[in-house]
Amino acid sequence: DWGDLDYLIIDLPPGTGDAQLTLVQRIPISGAVIVTTPQDVALADALKGLKMFEEVKTPILGIVENMSGFVCPDCGASHDIFASGGGERIARENDVELLGKIPLEPLVRAGGDIGQPIVVANPDTVTAKAFDQAAARVATRLAIEAVKKPRKPTIMLKTV
């Protein structure tokens, strides 16, 4: 029992395996966020996942490009270690919103090791702000999808 939750986020392996299919067949899903890194091999898996969720009528909330560049902590120079713009490209080609680009950041690993997410431990970093913006966009997309769902009829009872 998870108790009362605003959101339950489930991290799935890439692609279109049994985990994804079982999940969408057994529980109601509000939407899918496709997370990818910018290199071609990851984009191919992300695209397969996107198409599978579309096929089973699960709303695609958007795409997040993870490991999207690296900003050197010493000199501030930005480097595209894993290529650049792949998430943005498949979002555009599939008419899906790009929810955010999350830079590669050593503080994410360090925070994970001690149980403190970067948005708590280092909230003023570029990466923490990118996570915050992506989360806000996901919440907005979920609200939009909720409004799109057909509403059950309202039954009015009058006492005479």
Residue 13 lies in a domain: no
Tally of domains within the chain = 1
| Tokens found for residue 146 | 């909720």
Burial class of residue 62 in the structure, from the number of CB atoms within 10 Å of its CB (0-12 exposed, 13-18 middle, 19+ buried): buried
- pLDDT tens column, 53-95: 999 899 999 999 999 999 887 887 889 998 889 999 999 999 9
Q: What is the pLDDT of residue 7?
A: 86
| HSE (side-chain half, CA atoms, 13 Å) at 91 | 21
Beta strands in the chain (DSSP E): 32-36, 60-65, 70-71, 78-79, 98-101
Q: Position 23: which residue type?
A: L
- 4-33 pLDDT tens trace: 888 888 888 777 677 888 888 888 889 999
The answer as to whether 86 is a domain residue is yes
Read off the pTM. 0.86
Q: Which domain holds residue 103?
A: 18-148
Enumerate the β-bridge partners of residue 35: 64
CATH number at residue 72: 3.40.50.300
Residue 40 lies in a domain: yes
Average pLDDT, the chain: 89
85 inside domain: yes
In this structure, the number of other CB atoms found within 10 A of the CB of residue 135 comes to 17
Distance of alpha carbon 61 from alpha carbon 70, whole angstroms: 25
Task: Check residues 3 and 115 and name the one with the higher pLDDT.
Answer: 115
Domain assignment of residue 160, yes or no: no
What are the angstrom distances between the C-alpha of 79 and each of 71, 83, 150?
6, 9, 46
Contact 64, 87 (CB under 8 A): yes
